[in-house]
Amino acid sequence: MENTKTLPPAAESATDSHSPQGSTSALTLGALGVVFGDIGTSPLYALQATLDPRYHLGVNVTDLYGIVSLIFWSFVFVVTVKYVFIVMRCDNHGEGGSLALYALIKRMLGAAAPKGWLLIFALFATALFYADAMLTPAISVISAVEGLGVVSSAFQPYIVWIALSILIGLFAIQRHGTHRVGRFFGPVMLVYFATIAAMGVVHIVDYPQVLGALSPVHLWGFFAAHPFYSFLSLGAVVYAVTGAEALYADMGHFGRKPITLAWLSIAMPALMLNYMGQAAMLLRNPAFADNPFFHMVPPSLTIPLLVIATLATIIASQAVISGAFSVTQQAIQLGFIPRMQILHTSSQAKGQIYLPVINWALATMVALLVVTFQHSAAMLPAYGLAVVGTMLITTLMQYIVVFRIWRAPLWRGAIGFATFITVDLLFLASGFAKLFEGAWFPILMGLVIFTLLTTWAKGRRIMRDRLDEGAMPLSAFIASAAESVHRVRGTSVFMSATPDSIPAALLHNLKHNQVLHERIILLTVQVAGVPHVEPDARSEVTVLGDGFFRVVLRYGFMEEIDIPRDLAGISTCGEPFNMMATSFFLGRQKLIASKQRPGMALWREQLFAWMSKNSESAMEFFKLPTNRVVELGSQVQI
């Protein structure tokens, strides 16, 4: 089985100098359009959700000030202190996200890195991200379209179908790429943030006392008034910080400074002005609690606001879809997902990719969510738990960096850890209270996707072990083959999962054809724990003698693998490579699940065999010339 191998930490020699290109102002504007779409659209539903009858909260000063204060201090502690000032410093050569954080810890700590649970956490956070990627487009778009109900009740029966039409159209255009329209994302979101800020200011001017809601004193009054229902409302307050993980996950595209600047100077002030404006409006007009966001403007401005809000939710959805493509590419490179077709939609922007399987799987799940739940409020319990689960895992992983890599003083690190873990657990416990109201969805999706990820990773490891059983030492094989086998002109490249093994395809070729080429390349592709590998560290060539060469090509987990391109750049193993005189030999294994050998549960072995059968061919994934590839099959019992 030909696939990439994750590079051991000790073997990584490359450094990374890839940083976002452009001025700070341009990158800040770009970050507004990608990073803050999700958290930016939370005013459409967050405060409204806290006033759901199930929480028994009233439209009064105590409750509304308490809710606004909770949102503000969540912004301070969760988004600003935790993500902006701590988590975003845990970057892997500029890249962020659960898999990048996992690769960073493995690279820096090597054998001393936590065993088992670290990988489990990283993969479960990735699984929850996919659940989030299903929920974000569904909730965001339908919450904006629900504004039509404020315009006229006649639109109510058509809201689901209008939302579905927008979402299907969004997924349908993914194959064309977003590089043309992407340049408008930042300006549109800037207009959106300016709009929601202005909406808030208008109502704050009418009721300036609402500014006092920022005081933490109101938190005490809120929880003292009704402790149980205030605790339950945390599960709705967390909707205000959905999208905070995007600050870290998208850091590689824009850099820490532009994202920080965009949050502190634009996004956070605009959001808080809007939330305070909603509270001020409700204190004067309690009847608007059914949809406070769209009631903030006069009826004549509802349609323009609806258009701006819908555009913002489409941008938020686009960002999370593109994020799913990027995360999948990382997971494929790191060996957690089978090879899939990856199409590049822009010749200028390397990050613009499209994965048809992921796109239509997400589209199907999003459509099912919209049709099943019908209303944004019904989906919110599921959304909140997915977000909080990812936040909790990020907290646990980030403090491995704080304690083990940064070696922060124990007392200082312990205070931060205790604070953030307490906040995350409170949000999580409140979310679990709505387990049967929709919170089960991200748990179910997370477990399903986690099972797929771990089955693929463990199955690959078991299969490599099976292929290596009884293998002849490489030096002995070369000595034997050089003396007894007929050699023919040309170059042959045999893909090998590990640098020290004899490729199964080489053994099968020798068995059936009984010839070897004059030059034989034993090629291994390794994926480093860094996003990018410098060109001068791309290849490593070892001369084995008798026309045999060991070549290792190294890639970062964010890079595109192109074997012909990188072989052409090697000049240290004989004459230059001519692809028309080079044959690539690939092994294709038919996997047979069996109870006879220890490995995984039989159903997981069968699942792994199915995943392997349906993965993209190595020829296409590694960009090998189609008329120069020979596949040799064999059966492997796992």
Short-list 450, 584, 608, CA closest to 525: 584
Q: Cα–Cα distances in Å, from 293 out to 3, 156, 226, 275, 301? A: 50, 17, 26, 9, 12
pLDDT of residue 284: 93
Report, as an integer, the average pLDDT of 123-139: 91
Find residue 584's DSSP bridge partners.
493, 629
pLDDT, one tens digit per residue, over 287-327 is: 999 889 999 999 999 999 999 999 999 988 888 888 888 88
Q: ∠621-465-611 over CA atoms, to 5°? A: 40
3-state SS of the chain: helix, strand, coil percent to 5?
A: 65, 10, 25
User: When comparing pLDDT for 471 and 120, which is higher?
Assistant: 120
pLDDT of residue 22: 67
- Whether 527 shows a pLDDT value over 90: the answer reads no
**Do 163 and 139 meet the contact criterion of CB atoms below 8 Å apart?**
no
Six-digit token string for 66:
């308490």
30-39, 179-188, 587-596, range with the lowest pLDDT:
587-596
Provide the mean pLDDT of the chain.
Answer: 86
Find residue 492's DSSP bridge partners.
520, 583
Count the neighbouring beta carbons within 10 Å of the beta carbon of residue 490: 13
pLDDT band at residue 161 under the 50/70/90 scheme: very high
Report, as an integer, the average pLDDT of 386-404: 90
pLDDT band at residue 69 under the 50/70/90 scheme: very high
Report, as an integer, the average pLDDT of 23-42: 87
Distance between CA atoms of residues 69 and 466, nearest Å: 59
pLDDT, one tens digit per residue, over 412-467 is: 888 989 999 999 999 999 888 887 788 889 899 999 999 999 999 998 888 877 77
**Do 215 and 69 meet the contact criterion of CB atoms below 8 Å apart?**
yes
pLDDT of residue 12: 39
Distance between CA atoms of residues 432 and 442, nearest Å: 11
CA-based radius of gyration for the chain: 27
- Whether 139 shows a pLDDT value over 80: the answer reads yes
Count CA within 13 A, CB hemisphere, residue 525.
26
In the chain, the percentage of residues whose pLDDT exceeds 70 is 93
Count CA within 13 A, CB hemisphere, residue 581.
12
- Whether 61 shows a pLDDT value over 90: the answer reads yes
482-486, 535-539, 549-553, 568-572, range with the lowest pLDDT:
482-486
Query: Which residues does 85 contact at the CB level (< 8 Å), separation at least 6?
Result: none
pLDDT of residue 550: 92
Distance between CA atoms of residues 426 and 448, nearest Å: 25
Q: Cα–Cα distances in Å, from 89 out to 14, 77, 92, 226, 533? A: 20, 16, 9, 38, 21
Give all domains of the chain, ordered by start, each with its CATH number: 20-457 (1.20.1740.10), 472-637 (no CATH)
pLDDT of residue 504: 80
**Do 325 and 353 meet the contact criterion of CB atoms below 8 Å apart?**
yes
Burial of residue 390, with CB atoms counted within 10 A of its CB: 0-12 exposed, 13-18 middle, 19 or more buried:
buried
- Whether 11 shows a pLDDT value over 50: the answer reads no
For the chain, counts of helices (H) and of strands (E) = 26, 9
What angle, 0 to 180 degrees and rounded to 10, lies between the N-to-C axes of helices 302-333 and 24-34? Answer: 100
Helix or strand run (H / E) with residue 542: strand 539-545
532-564 CB burial, b ≥16 within 10 A, e <16:
bbeeeebbbeeeeeebbbbbbbbbbbbbebebb
pLDDT of residue 275: 96
- DSSP character string of 222-252: HHHH-HHHHHHHHHHHGGGGTTHHHHHHTHH
pLDDT of residue 349: 55
- Whether 9 shows a pLDDT value over 50: the answer reads no
- Whether 19 shows a pLDDT value over 70: the answer reads no
pLDDT of residue 337: 92
SS3 570: coil
Six-digit token string for 363:
């589209």
pLDDT band at residue 545 under the 50/70/90 scheme: confident
Distance between CA atoms of residues 305 and 312, nearest Å: 10
107-116, 340-349, 608-617, range with the lowest pLDDT:
340-349
- 371: phi then psi, degrees, rounded to nearest 5: -70, -35
- Whether 141 shows a pLDDT value over 70: the answer reads yes
pLDDT, one tens digit per residue, over 559-607 is: 888 999 999 888 888 888 888 889 999 877 777 777 766 678 888 988 9
37-60 CB burial, b ≥16 within 10 A, e <16:
bbbbbbbbbbbbbbbeeebebebe
- Whether 500 shows a pLDDT value over 80: the answer reads no
Taking every pair of Cα atoms in the chain, the longest distance, rounded to a whole number of angstroms, is 94
- Whether 8 shows a pLDDT value over 60: the answer reads no
Count the neighbouring beta carbons within 10 Å of the beta carbon of residue 275: 27
pLDDT, one tens digit per residue, over 463-483 is: 877 777 656 777 788 887 777
Report, as an integer, the average pLDDT of 478-504: 82
